[in-house]
């Protein structure tokens, strides 16, 4: 089974407040809730090449300018770049380095609701609330593959920093999670994986093996695959992942609710 997981990865190389879908109506203006392309809601927010100074200013601008849209008391949880299809950008944006937009993931401290906001490149004014896909949209992204020579069936979520797997053989289901992070130094033969949830709980696997491979430029890729227990499956179904760690390398997960949805789809 572990060989099967390795091959799949190589070939592809609720107790939390969900993201709200209704805009506040108490401000001078009301934001539209929409998605401009199918995977918009699922894109992770990254720092990219943005400086810490700019990120700090973006956060301040969002807090200030969100007031007129009814957000009087918010916390900016994440702000930065997200991938955006080149074909949907304004005319004149033709270079590969320009296929991005800015996004702020916020918490409304008054209601406890979270929102994903598309914000302007200049001034960082909220433009619209990004609409969450329906449950069926999440499940449609799970790929399924059967072995015509046996009764083995496998399911896999889209390949990302976190990838979920389900295998069924002889009517027995087994679930795995693969974690991937980047590091600037090379460490061979190391162990240890941690999945941190929003409520502070974690899945801690100190003995899991961490594989190192050469990444882009001067970086290295680290990944580990974990077989999940029934308790861990329930955690992943009901809790939002915020961070993962392999050996000493950490990665913040800005779209943790997506993996919760995927696990729900896999266990249906």
* pLDDT for 15 beyond 60: no
- Percent above pLDDT 90 for the chain: 46
Per-residue pLDDT averaged across 67-95, rounded?
Answer: 76
3-state secondary structure of 139: helix
Question: Are 163 and 262 spatial neighbours (Cβ–Cβ below 8 Å)?
Answer: no
CA distance 102 to 84: 9
Q: 87-134 pLDDT, tens per residue?
A: 555 544 444 445 789 999 999 999 888 999 999 999 999 999 998 876
Looking at CATH, the fold of the domain delimited by 32-131 is given as Nuclear Transport Factor 2; Chain: A, (3.10.450)
* The pair of three-digit structure tokens given for residue 122, joined into one six-digit string: 């200049």
pTM of the model: 0.61
* pLDDT for 47 beyond 90: no
Per-residue pLDDT averaged across 214-239, rounded?
Answer: 89
Per-residue pLDDT averaged across 172-193, rounded?
Answer: 91
Higher pLDDT, 237 or 48: 237
* pLDDT for 7 beyond 50: no
- Which of 62, 72, 67 is CA-nearest to residue 29? 67
* pLDDT for 11 beyond 50: no
Per-residue pLDDT averaged across 183-204, rounded?
Answer: 91
Per-residue pLDDT averaged across 55-71, rounded?
Answer: 95
Predicted local distance difference test score (pLDDT) of residue 16:
38
Predicted local distance difference test score (pLDDT) of residue 196:
94
* pLDDT for 3 beyond 60: no
CA atoms within 13 A on the CB side of 132: 18
Predicted local distance difference test score (pLDDT) of residue 40:
84
- Percent above pLDDT 70 for the chain: 86
Phi, psi of 259 (to 5 degrees): -70, -30
Predicted local distance difference test score (pLDDT) of residue 96:
42
Other beta carbons less than 10 A from residue 111's beta carbon: 14
Mean of the per-residue pLDDT values of the chain: 84
Predicted local distance difference test score (pLDDT) of residue 141:
83
Predicted local distance difference test score (pLDDT) of residue 258:
86
- The domain locations on the chain are 2-14+136-266, 32-131
Looking at CATH, the fold of the domain delimited by 2-14+136-266 is given as Immunoglobulin-like (2.60.40)
Predicted local distance difference test score (pLDDT) of residue 98:
55
């Amino acid at each position: 089974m572990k060989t099967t997981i390795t091959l799949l990865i190589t070939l592809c190389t609720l107790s939390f407040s969900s993201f709200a879908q209704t805009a506040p109506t108490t401000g001078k203006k009301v934001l539209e809730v929409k998605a401009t392309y199918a995977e918009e809601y699922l894109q992770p927010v990254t720092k990219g090449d943005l400086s810490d100074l700019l990120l700090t200013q973006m956060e301040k601008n969002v807090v200030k300018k969100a007031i007129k849209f009814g957000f009087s008391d918010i916390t900016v949880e994440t702000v930065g770049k997200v991938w955006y299809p080149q074909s949907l950008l304004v005319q004149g944006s033709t270079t590969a380095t320009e296929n991005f937009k800015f996004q702020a993931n916020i918490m409304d401290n008054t209601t406890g609701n979270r929102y994903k906001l598309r914000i302007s490149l200049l001034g960082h004014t909220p433009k619209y609330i990004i609409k969450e896909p329906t449950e069926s949209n999440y499940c449609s992204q799970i790929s399924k593959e059967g072995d015509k020579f046996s009764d083995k069936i496998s399911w896999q979520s889209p390949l990302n920093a976190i990838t979920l797997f389900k295998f069924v053989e002889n009517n027995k289901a087994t679930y795995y999670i693969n974690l991937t992070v980047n590091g600037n130094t090379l460490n061979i033969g190391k162990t240890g994986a941690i999945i941190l949830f929003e409520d502070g709980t974690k899945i801690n696997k100190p003995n899991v093996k961490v594989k190192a491979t050469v990444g882009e430029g001067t970086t290295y890729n680290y990944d580990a695959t974990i077989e999940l227990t029934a308790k861990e499956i329930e955690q992943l179904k009901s809790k939002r992942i915020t961070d993962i760690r392999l050996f000493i390398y950490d990665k913040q997960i800005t779209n943790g609710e997506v993996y919760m949805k995927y696990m729900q789809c896999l266990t249906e």
